[in-house]
Structure 1
Amino acid sequence: MASIAATSLVSVLSFGGYGVAVILAKVRPLRNAHQALSVAYGRLLDLLGPRVLQDPRDTPAFRVMVSLSLSAVPIFLIQLVLGKPRLLLAIAFYLSLYGLRFQRFVRMFSAKHLEAHRRKGYFSEKYDKVLGRYVEFFLGYLYGNVPELDRTVHVRLHHRENGGLDDTAESRSYDRTSRLDFLWYLSNNIWTVLGIAPYHYFRASGDEENRKHLFWGLTRYYAYFAAVFIYDWRIGVLFVLVPLFCMNFITAVIAWVQHAFYDPEHPEDYFAHTATVLDEVNFMNEGYHLCHHHRAGLHWTEMPVHFERIRDRMRISGSLVFRDLDFMRLFFALTLFRRMDVLAEKLVPWEPMDHEHRLALLAKRTGSERWLIELTAGATRRGDHEDKRDTLDPC
């Protein structure tokens, strides 16, 4: 419940800030000034990015790093210098971390995720010794992200297990359409976020190298956590504990839906249970999650092409693809509101399929057999949706 409360608090500020921004955008001088500054800022980073990055295609991630370094970091340092917690600083801190409508967090999450799959992070050799893995090993502290949860746990546990039974993030034993089941999953996920469950995984499997990497990551984060609380427990709650609980909630949501669609006939086939979501806004192609699992080292700009390469295997495995959704909206429809009818409309099957059959497929793949009962009781027929336009055409 603490994770839900923390995320709710941040959500009010994030979406409230967005509402204020919409109102201010109607004032032409403010709108023009913002656009001019944004264009100038973007051009500057476009010039600077190729000089400091290994690959200039990663400039979007570079923009996130610079934005956080110029906002969240100084706000946190100012709060430490002032000592007594300031409410306005806490609000500014949350807005700088999560952004309006959580958009900055979405970008940060994708940046740290893909950084973990780079041997030396984003920066070129000249800057790597100082800025190597800058998102995970520096900015991550502000978000409640334990060092090595990405480079070690995500890459060498999650990608090894691919959402299987030994994956600390697996969700097949839960009804993915149940809010109560998600609460149980959320309460268990904190042990992954704190690094405890992955640590026991590496120790049980005899993987000493990764156990040691994670141990030192845990040591650094817990030392940071303790130091801030010793300095001032109120600052610790506002600037350390709240982000940690938010990280727990958001990572639980993402892990819950990214591998939500297990095929009971082929439970170990990660092609079957890994979802792909194709939205208008798809920062660093995060929605191509199956492509990422299939070729984790592939650069994010190459994911759409790789999607076309593996279409046949996806079709054979019954991999699920949704259009006009992101992972958060998938969670809302699947679990929070249980709008399987919405998911059925967003589902793009490999062969023509009417609405009832889509609902039956989703019920089978989410562990929610009660939806089948509702279908037989008279679910709405949508025959108009079974024409070939609803089959998966090339992107």
Structure 2
Amino acid sequence: MGRLAFPLDAELTGPDRVVLSILQKQYEAHGDPLDKASSEVAEESDDSETKHSKFVSPSPEDLQDQEQQAIAYLKNSNNPKSDAFEPTIFSSVDEPDIKNALLRQWIIDPYIRWARTVVRVETDVVMVTHLLLYSCTTLPSALYLFKNFHWWHAILHGVMQGWYMGAYTLLRHQHIHMRGVLSKKYAIIDQLFPYVLDPLMGHTWNSYYYHHVKHHHVEGNGPDDLSSTVRYQRDDVWDFMRYVGRFYFLIWFDLPRYFLRTRKPVLAFKAGGWELSSYAFLYIMFAYVNAPAAVFVLFVPLALMRLALMTGNWGQHALVDEMEPDSDFRSSITLIDVPSNRYCYNDGYHTSHHLNPLRHWRDHPVAFLSQKKQYADEHALVFYNIDYMFLTINLLRKNYEHVARCLVPMGDQMKLTLEERAEMLKRKTRKFTEEEIAEKWGKQYAKLK
């Protein structure tokens, strides 16, 4: 039988555990060609108390029935009218796991009832939780640093922001795609909070919206995408540094130029205007208010965020199919892991997001299960036990064997040995020549001499 190389993380979200359980059972029902060493790793990682001497593969009918039950369960957990409805309250703790009766009666349940009226989608109570958290910690901390700067406070503030920035960015990711996350009653707060919090979290005003929604999702990692990976060798450190460096120093120029080239002058003016106005704000805060505070509160988060954004995007689009690189199934990946999905609003379901950018973050697991056969038929890549940052790091270290062990095989991938999987992944990091770009996307995209 097939076995995944690592045990399932105990911190996986409920939906992720359901999805991975279905994929695991499907793989177990299939013969495993992996070498003996891989099997031994899996055996050692089995934390169950009982070792079963015999495995009975479930029938296809059993698997299909379990899959349909899982889809129904996930849909009900997202449906406010269902008795099985489960809003997300906190990132670190699931709502059913909060057992204390007094805490539930006097704090948690009243808070949930109120917060469900604040958010646009009732599952998203966690967004209110996070906005309240930032308002009570980030904002007063930043203001006090500008008033009375201390080095120890600045360092602690930086550590706190480093913890917050990933989750905030994915909250904003939902915000820019849905044009808001709060109900109409709170529309003013919904529109204004990004202008207050974005600079504190390493973002320039509105740049995320113009680059991600109006540009990245239009080009889809194709040759005209400014964050495209296809012209880079994606396991090469030097190419990665060039990729990050271009975004770091030239995005203020490249994005407006892209909009002008594609005959969208209004977007060019807005994108350039907001980026430059953000730089002007940073300069004023540094030159005329409090330079040390500006460095720690504004400049350090900006530097870290831009590195994180490009490192993450490299991981999301590092493995591009050599045959159909313009396919959303084959130019992006799916991660079923804790950092991406528990703490960052299901960011691991990147293929699902590219298939439907307007899909709500809680709908990704059920959408994935519903399209599982198509994912398998399209040779999509699904991983677990690794996030985008560590995927990027492992690729740059050329540690393909570890990445291959993190693969959750689907369809024909189940027939591959570990070495064959590693070789397959290696092929998908090779940069495309201009001739290949002309062949795959069209001559208008290639820089042919």
Instruction: Pick the TM interval, shorter chain.
Output: 0.7 to 0.9
Change over 3 Å in CA distance of 1:174–1:229 after alignment to 2: same
Q: Identify the residue that residue 141 of structure 1 maps to in structure 2.
A: 199
Provide the C-alpha distance between the structure 1 equivalents of 2:305 and 2:328, rounded to a whole number of angstroms.
Answer: 25
What's the offset of the Cα at 1:195? 3.4
Q: Identify the residue that residue 334 of structure 1 maps to in structure 2.
A: 395
Correspondence for 2:417 among 354, 364, 371: 354
Q: Is the 8 A contact 1:272 1:317 kept in 2?
A: yes
In structure 1, runs of 5+ residues without a counterpart are: 1-35, 370-395
Q: Identify the residue that residue 53 of structure 1 maps to in structure 2.
A: 119
CA deviation string 1:261-319 (max 9, x = no partner): 11222222232110110114513211101101111111111111111233333333322
* 1:174 is the counterpart of 2:218: no
Greater mean alpha carbon deviation, residues 108-117 or residues 274-283? 274-283
Change over 3 Å in CA distance of 1:217–1:368 after alignment to 2: closer
Correspondence for 1:213 among 251, 257, 270: 270
Provide the C-alpha distance between the structure 1 equivalents of 2:105 and 2:258, rounded to a whole number of angstroms.
Answer: 47
Q: Identify the residue that residue 256 of structure 2 maps to in structure 1.
A: 199
What's the offset of the Cα at 1:47? 3.9
Q: Which amino acid aligns with 2:171?
A: A
* 1:70 is the counterpart of 2:136: yes
Q: Identify the residue that residue 98 of structure 1 maps to in structure 2.
A: 162
What's the offset of the Cα at 1:78? 0.9
* 1:276 is the counterpart of 2:342: no
SS of the residue corresponding to residue 124 of structure 2 reads helix
* 1:125 is the counterpart of 2:184: yes
Change over 3 Å in CA distance of 1:74–1:368 after alignment to 2: same
CA deviation string 1:96-117 (max 9, x = no partner): 2122xxxx32211211111110
Greater mean alpha carbon deviation, residues 208-217 or residues 285-294? 208-217
Q: Which amino acid aligns with 1:364?
A: R
Greater mean alpha carbon deviation, residues 269-278 or residues 42-51? 42-51
Provide the C-alpha distance between the structure 2 equivalents of 1:57 and 1:310, rounded to a whole number of angstroms.
Answer: 22
Q: Is the 8 A contact 2:320 2:330 kept in 1?
A: yes
Q: Is the 8 A contact 1:272 1:314 kept in 2?
A: no
Provide the C-alpha distance between the structure 2 equivalents of 1:308 and 1:207, rounded to a whole number of angstroms.
Answer: 38
Provide the C-alpha distance between the structure 2 equivalents of 1:80 and 1:151, rounded to a whole number of angstroms.
Answer: 28
Q: Is the 8 A contact 2:229 2:317 kept in 1?
A: yes
Provide the C-alpha distance between the structure 2 equivalents of 1:215 and 1:174, rounded to a whole number of angstroms.
Answer: 26
Q: Is the 8 A contact 2:386 2:406 kept in 1?
A: yes
Q: Identify the residue that residue 384 of structure 1 maps to in structure 2.
A: none
Correspondence for 1:315 among 372, 376, 400: 376
Task: Tell me which stretches of 4 or more aligned residues in structure 1 moved more than 4 Å.
Answer: 36-45
Provide the C-alpha distance between the structure 1 equivalents of 2:297 and 2:150, rounded to a whole number of angstroms.
Answer: 11
TM-score (norm 2): 0.67
Larger proportion of helix: 1
* 1:190 is the counterpart of 2:251: no
SS of the residue corresponding to residue 380 of structure 2 reads coil
Q: Which amino acid aligns with 1:70?
A: C
* 1:110 is the counterpart of 2:160: no
Provide the C-alpha distance between the structure 2 equivalents of 1:202 and 1:359, rounded to a whole number of angstroms.
Answer: 39
Provide the C-alpha distance between the structure 1 equivalents of 2:150 and 2:338, rounded to a whole number of angstroms.
Answer: 38
Which has the larger Rg? 2
What's the offset of the Cα at 1:191? 4.0
* 1:80 is the counterpart of 2:137: no
CA deviation string 1:152-190 (max 9, x = no partner): 221110111111111111112222112222111111121
Provide the C-alpha distance between the structure 1 equivalents of 2:197 and 2:204, rounded to a whole number of angstroms.
Answer: 10
Correspondence for 2:302 among 229, 244, 260: 244
RMSD: 2.4
Q: Is the 8 A contact 2:328 2:355 kept in 1?
A: no
Q: Identify the residue that residue 288 of structure 1 maps to in structure 2.
A: 349
What's the offset of the Cα at 1:324? 1.7
In structure 2, runs of 5+ residues without a counterpart are: 1-101, 433-449
Q: Which amino acid aligns with 2:158?
A: Y
Greater mean alpha carbon deviation, residues 159-168 or residues 211-220? 211-220
Correspondence for 1:363 among 417, 426, 433: 426
Q: Is the 8 A contact 1:68 1:96 kept in 2?
A: no
Change over 3 Å in CA distance of 1:48–1:219 after alignment to 2: farther
Q: Percent same amino acid at aligned positions? A: 24
* 1:155 is the counterpart of 2:216: no
What's the offset of the Cα at 1:211? 2.0
